[in-house]
Structure 1
Amino acid sequence: MCIFASNVKHLYNVIMEQSIKERIASLRGLLSENNFSAFIIPSTDPHLSEYVASHWKSREWISGFSGSAGTVVVTLEKAGLWTDSRYFLQAADQLEGSGITLFKDGLPETPSIIEWLTSEMAVGSTLGIDGKMFSVSDVEEMKNVLSKKNIAVETSLDPFESIWIDRPLMPQDPAFIYETQYSGVSCLDKIAQIRQKMEKVDVESLLISNLDEIAWALNLRGRDVKCNPFVVSYLLITDKKTIYFIAPEKLTADVSEYLSTQQVEVRGYDEINSALNELTASSLLINPARTNYDVFSAVNPSCKIVRGSSPIALLKAVRNEAEIAGIHAAMIRDGVAMVKFLRWLEMAVPTGHETELTIDEKLHEFRAAQDLYMGESFDTIAGYKEHGAIVHYSATPESCSVLKPEGFLLLDSGAQYLDGTTDITRTIALGSLTEEEKIDYTLVLKGHIAIATCKFPYGTRGAQIDVLARHALWQRGMNYLHGTGHGVGHFLSVHEGPQSIRLNEVPVLLVPGMVTSNEPGVYKGGRHGIRIENLTLVCKDVETEFGEFYRFETLTLCPICTKGIIKSLLSDTEINWLNYYHQVVFERLSPTLNAEEIAWLREKTLAI
C-alpha cells in the first residue's frame, strides 16, 4: 500500500460506516412512510446505461460501493448488494462495516434478488422501485413472480429526490455535431435506413432510449457521461417524423440548425411521457429489455406496442468503410502512445517512485498528446501483483501499490478519438516472475492467439468460439468468469452489443464489419491477474463449397510482453502468429517514433 494507507483506510472506513448507515436509515424512514417493506436500487439511469452520470449514481451513494455493476436491496431490517465476479474483492472491501451483506452473483449458492426478497418480505407487503430505473422486462417479471407470493410492486417512488440532499444536477453540457467524415453516413441517410428496417417489421414508430443508439443515429455526441460521448435524451422515429427529446439548454445554435437540416424536430427532455401519451401512430416498436417501465407505461393505450430489438443495434455494429479507416488510424496513434508509455514505464519502475495511480496519469499524458484525442474510453485499470486479480480494480490513494521490478502489472486502458474507440490490456512483467506466473501467462496467450487465428463459417455466434480462448486454461483446471469479447463502439461506448464472445448464448451472428475485443484472462486472489486484450475486426476470409468463411483481423497495435512466455508451451502456429503480429506492430508504428523509441520497439518485437 501507499504511505500511511492503512491508517487512512481505517479513518475512511469509520467515516463511511457512519455515513452509509445514516443514508440507509433515511431510506428506511421513507419506506415506512410509504408502507414499503423493501426497495431495490440498481446501477443504471432512465436509459438503462452501463455507465451513468453522477446524478443517477444512487446505488453508489447509498452503499459506498463504486463498481460499475451491482444492485442494492434495502428492507426495513436488512440490506444486501448483488454484484458479479469482477467486483467480489472490491465490494467486500468497500462494504466493510456498512451493514450491507455482499451477495456474490452467479455462484450456485447465491440466491437471486427476488428469491431473497420472497424469503424476507411478508405476504401482502409492498416492494418499491423507481420505474425509470428498470426495464419493462424486469418489472413485468418481478411483478409476475412476486404476485404469486401476494407481494405488490410499486414503481412510482424516487426516494433520492428527497433523501439525497446534495444530489448532483442532471448533466448540462451542450451536444456537438459528429462530422460525416468520421461517421461515414449522414443522419438523414441513417434515419432512412432505420425506417426501411421499421417497414420490414411493419411498425409505424420506434422509441429509442439507448444513448449510444441515439448518438449514432443523429451523428451527435456529448459529455454527459464520463468516458462515454453521449447526450441524455430520447428519440422517437415515426414513418413521417423524427422527434428528439433533449433539455433545451444543451442545444447550441449550430446544433439546432444542424438538426433542422436533418429534418429532426426538437422537444424538451421531460416531454417524452406526454408525447408518448399523445402518440397517434398505430404501432410502436420498443425493446422491452432496453426501455424503462415508466416511459413504457406512458404510451397511448390505443397504440399497439410491438416488442423487439431496435434495428439500430445491428446497423451500428457493422462498420462502414470510413469507420474502418478511422479505427485503423486511431489504433496507430494509440499504439504510439502505448509504446511511449511502456518505454517510460520500463525506465521509471526501478526508481521506486511510481504507483498504480501515477502511471495512469503518465499514460493519460501520452494519449492526450495524440491528434483527435477526446478522453479515456473508461477508467484505467492498473493492478499490480495481487491487485491484478481484481478484474475491475480501481486504484485509490489509500489502496495504490508502489511498483517494484518484480511480478506482473495488469494494465487495461483505452481512449476516445474522434475516429475511433480503443480498448487494450497488457500484462507486463516488471521484473522476475515465478514459474506459476509464467505458466498462467502463457496459457492466457494461447487462448488469445486461438481467437485471433480462428476461422469460422457464416452463421457462427460468439458462444460457439468462446471455448477456444479457454481450452488451454481448462486443461489445467483454470477458468475466468467474464466474457472473452465484447463489441466496441465508434467514438461511442467501449462496451457495445449486440455481438459478443462469451460462454452464454447470445443469438447474434458474427459478421464482417463488427469490432470485438479478444481478452481471455486468469485471476488468482492474493497472487496475480493476467489478461491480454486486442480489438479485432470480423473480415471475409474465403468462400468454399461449404459457404462463406470469416476471420478476425487484429486491430490493436502494441507489443505483447514476451518476458512471461514459456516458449515450449506454444505450438509453431502460435509462435508464428506472435512473431507476425510483432512484425506488423513494428512496421506500422515505427514511422511515427523517434530513434530511441524505434530501437526500444525493435527489441520488444523481436521474433521469439
Structure 2
Amino acid sequence: MKISERIAELRVLMKEKNIDAYVVPTADFHQSEYVGEHFKARKFITGFSGSAGTAVITADEARLWTDGRYFIQAAKQIEGTGVELMKMGEPGFPTLNEYLESTLPENGVLGFDGRVVATGEGEGYEAIVNAKNGSIVYEYDLIDKVWTDRPALSEKPVFELGVEYTGETVASKLSRIRGEMKKAGATVHILTTLDDICWTLNMRGDDIDFFPLVLSYAVIEMDKVILYINEAKLSDEIKAHFAADGIEIRPYNDIYEDVKSIDEKEVLLIDPAKLNYSLYNNLPAGCKKVAASNPEIIFKAMKNDVEVENMKKANLKDSVAHVRFMKWVKENVNKEVITEMSASDKLDEFRKEMGNFIRPSFEPISSYGPHAAMCHYTSSPETDVQLKEGDIFLTDTGAGFWEGSTDITRTYALGEIPAKTKEFFTLVAIANLHLGEARFLHGTTGMVLDILTRKPFWDRDLNFNHGTGHGVGYLLNIHEGPTGFRWTYRPHESHTLEKGMIITNEPGIYFEGEFGIRLENELLCCEGTKNEYGQFMHFEAITFVPFDLDAIDTSIMTAHDKELLNNYHKEVFEKVSPFLNNEEKAWLEKYTRAI
C-alpha cells in the first residue's frame, strides 16, 4: 500500500472507535530511542525512517514532528504522501501538544497505543483532553490492524558480559539499586528500559538492529527480581546464574496483569519518563508511587575503572581501523569504484581485523557530497552514489567490540576541494578542539560548556541543528543519558558532568544541496586539581584519528588553534603508529605533521 492508503485505512479504524486524533510515536514498549522492526509504526504510517519523530493523524490531516537532524531527510521521504512536516524548535511550527490543543474538538477523543507512550507524555495528553472535556483511548494498537505483514518480535538469544568487561557483578549492582530504593522510601522498583535492565543483569542480546539489547521488563524487590522475558532466549547456564542472584523468570507480557496484584502496602519507585502509560495505569491505585529517574541511569553513565580501560581499548582499535580506512579511501577513490555503501562495508572489514568485533554500534552514516548535508542520512541501494575526487565524504559510524562501543565521525577531502569547504571544515575542527580542551569545576553541566564549540559558528551567525555531544553506553544505547552537550535545556540531559562519563564531541555544519561536515571524538570526563575553589575537571580524548589536513585552511586558525591540532595529532601518531606497518606509519606521519 501507498502511505496515503495506509493513512486512509487508519482513519476508517479511528472513525469506528470515535477517535478524533491518533498519536503514533517512535517508541517500543520500553521507550527505546531506536526500536526493532516490529515497532516501527511511525515509519510505516508516514514513510519517514529517521530515529526520532511523532505522527498525529486526524480525519483530514497527517502531521509529522521531528528534530533538526532530520528536516531534510523527512521532507524528502514524506513528499507526496499527504503528511505535513512539523519542524521541532523552529519558528512558525506549533509543538505537538500545541497542535492537539488547537485541533482536538470539544468532547474530543485522543487515541494512542498506551504501551508506546511514556507516562509523562500520557499525563500531558490528559491535561489537553481534560481541558476539552474529552477522553483518551489507549487500549488499541490501530497500526497493527493496518500493518498486515508486520514483523514478529525478535527471538534471538541472550548473552552475558563477564566481570572482566563489566567491572561489577549483578549482586553488587542490585545492592546499589536497593540502596537507592531505600533512600527514596520505596520497596518495589518497576524497570522497563532495556539498557537499564541489561546493564543491571550484565546481559546483552540482539532484539534491536545494531543495539545489543533484550526485550524485557524487571520488577526489583528487596529480596528478589522478577524478569519478564521470552525464556527461550536464555541458556540453562544464564538461567542458573540468574537464579543464584535471586532472579525469577516470567513470560514477557505477564507484567501487565502481574502488577495489578501488587500489595497496596508497597511503595513503588517509577520513572514517568520511562514507564509506559498502559503499565502505569495497571498499577494499584492504593500504592504510593515515588516518581524519580531510574537510579540505573546515572550508575551506568559513570563508567567504573574496568569499563573505562575497556572502552579506551575499543576506541583505540577503532581508531586504528579508521586510519587504515582513511588511507585506503583517499588513495583509491580515483582507482576503483567506491560507493557510500561499499566504503562503509570496507570500514567494518578493517574493524573485524582488530579482533573482538561484534557488530556496528548503530546504523552507519556514510554520505558523499550533498548527502552529507543530511545529518542522519542512511545510504541505500536507491541512493548509493560513487565517491569521486573534488568533494568530501562524511563517515559517522560506530563499532561494538567486547571491550565496548565506539562512535566516530570523520569528514575526508577526496582530492582537491573548494576553498569554501576548507573554511567550514576548519571551523568544525576548531570547534571540536576548543571543547576538548575545556577545564571546569565539578557541578558544571554540558549546557554550560556547549558555547565553547558553538562560538566559532555563532560569531559568523551560523549554527548546527543538533546537540554537540551525547553519552555513550557500554554495548548498550549509543545515545546514553543523563548528560550531553547542547545549548538548549533538556531535563534528561542536564546532569552534572561526572568522573567516568564518556561523551561525544561532534560539532558540524550543513548546507542543503551542497555538503555537510562533522568531526566527532569520544571524551572521557576526568578529575583534575582539587583546591580551595573545588574539584576541577577536564576531558581526555579517547578517539585517535587525524583531522584531514587536506581540508584545513590554516589562515583562519590562531596560533593556539594550531597548537591544539598539533598536540592532538602528535597523540594520534603516538597511540596508533605501533599498530601499523611501515607504509601505513609513513602515511600517518604525513597526516599528523605539525602545521
TM-score range, shorter chain: over 0.9
Residue matched to 1:14: none
Choose the corresponding residue for 1:222, options 195, 205, 216: 205
For residues 329 and 94 of structure 2, the distance between their equivalents in structure 1, rounded to whole angstroms, comes to 44
Corresponding residue of 2:79? 96
Q: Which residue of 1 aligns with 2:527?
A: 540
In structure 1, distance between residues paired with 2:345 and 2:155 = 27
Please say which of residues 380-389 and 456-465 is displaced more in the overlay: 380-389
Which consecutive residues of structure 1, in runs of 5 or more, have no partner in the other structure? 1-17
2:366 aligns to what SS in structure 1?
strand
Same amino acid, percent of matched pairs: 39
| Amino acid in structure 2 at the alignment position of 1:535 | E
Per-residue deviation at 1:114?
2.6
2:128 is aligned with 1:131: no
Mapping of 1:168-207 within 5 angstroms? Answer: 168-207=151-190
Q: What is the correspondence of 1:133-172 to structure 2 with a 5 Å cutoff?
A: 133-172=116-155
Q: Give, in angstroms, the shift of residue 514 of structure 1.
A: 0.5
C-alpha distance in structure 1 between counterparts of 2:311 and 2:175, whole Å: 25
**More off after superposition, 61-70 vs 147-156:** 147-156
Pairing partner for 1:444 from 417, 420, 428: 428
**Pairwise CA RMSD:** 1.3
- The answer to whether the 8 Å contact 1:283/1:303 transfers is yes
Letter of the 2:543 counterpart: T
- Aligned partner of 2:543 in structure 1 is 556
1:418 aligns to what?
A: 402
Aligned to 2:494: 507
Instruction: Give the whole-Å Cα distance in 1 for the aligned partners of 2:184 and 2:100.
Output: 39
Provide TM-score, normalisation by structure 2: 0.97
- 1:435 Cα deviation after fit: 2.1
Please show how residues 7-406 of structure 1 align to structure 2 within 5 Å: 19-280=2-263, 282-351=266-335, 353-406=337-390
Residue pair 1:339, 1:558 contacting (<8 A) in 2 also: yes
Determine if contact 1:282/1:302 at 8 Å carries over to the other structure. no
- Give the counterpart of 1:516 among 485, 491, 503: 503
Residue of structure 1 in register with 2:561 after alignment: 574
Aligned length: 591
CA distance in 2, matches of 1:462, 1:445: 19
Partners in 2 of 1:361 and 1:371 — Cα distance? 16
Partners of 1:355 and 1:89 lie apart in 2 by 21
Q: 1:35 corresponds to which letter in structure 2? A: N
2:529 counterpart SS class: strand
Give the letter for the 1:61 counterpart: F
Q: Which residue of 2 aligns with 1:480?
A: 464
2:338 maps to amino acid:
E
Q: Which one-letter code corresponds to 2:585 in the other structure?
A: I
Per-residue CA deviations over 1:186-207 (Å, capped at 9, x if unaligned) read 0011100111111112211111
Q: Distance in 2 between matches of 1:558 and 1:445?
A: 12
Query: Aligned partners of 2:444, 2:420: CA distance in 1, in Å?
Result: 35
Provide the C-alpha distance between the structure 2 equivalents of 1:511 and 1:405, rounded to a whole number of angstroms: 43
Report the 3-state secondary structure (helix = DSSP H, G, I; strand = E; otherwise coil) of the residue aligned with 2:550. Answer: coil
**Which segment drifts farther, 116-125 or 202-211?**
116-125
Larger mean CA deviation between 153-162 and 455-464 belongs to 153-162
Q: Distance in 2 between matches of 1:368 and 1:59?
A: 34
4+ aligned runs moved over 4 Å, structure 1:
none
SS in 2 for 1:548: strand
Does the 8 A contact of 2:301 with 2:501 survive in 1? yes
Is this contact kept in 2: 1:514–1:538, CA < 8 A?
yes
Q: Work out the CA distance in 1 between the residues paired with 2:569 and 2:497.
A: 26
Contact 2:101/2:128, CA 8 A, preserved across alignment: no
Per-residue deviation, 1:352 = 5.6
- Between 559-568 and 387-396, the greater mean CA deviation after superposition: 559-568
Which amino acid in the other structure matches residue 165 of structure 2? Y
Residues 44-89 of structure 1: per-residue CA shift (max 9 Å, x gap): 1010100101111111111111111111111122211111111111
Quote the offset at 1:42 in angstroms.
0.6
Report the secondary structure of 2:57's partner residue.
strand
AA aligned to 1:589 is V
Residue 118 of structure 1 and its aligned partner are, at CA, apart by 3.4
Equivalent-residue separation in structure 1 for 2:241 and 2:221 (angstroms): 20
The one-letter code matched in structure 2 to 1:340 is R
Q: Secondary structure at the match of 2:538?
A: strand
CA distance in 1, matches of 2:494, 2:391: 40
**AA paired with 1:49?**
S
1:434 to 2:418 alignment? yes
Map Cα deviations across residues 228-254 of structure 1 (whole Å, 9 max, x no partner): 110000111112221111112212212
Whole-angstrom CA distance in 2 between matches of 1:547 and 1:359: 48
Q: Deviations over 1:119-170 (max 9, x none)?
A: 3332222111111111111111111023212332211111133221111111
Q: Matched residues in 2 for 1:376 and 1:186: separation? A: 26
> Do 1:352 and 1:402's aligned partners in 2 also have CA atoms closer than 8 Å?
no
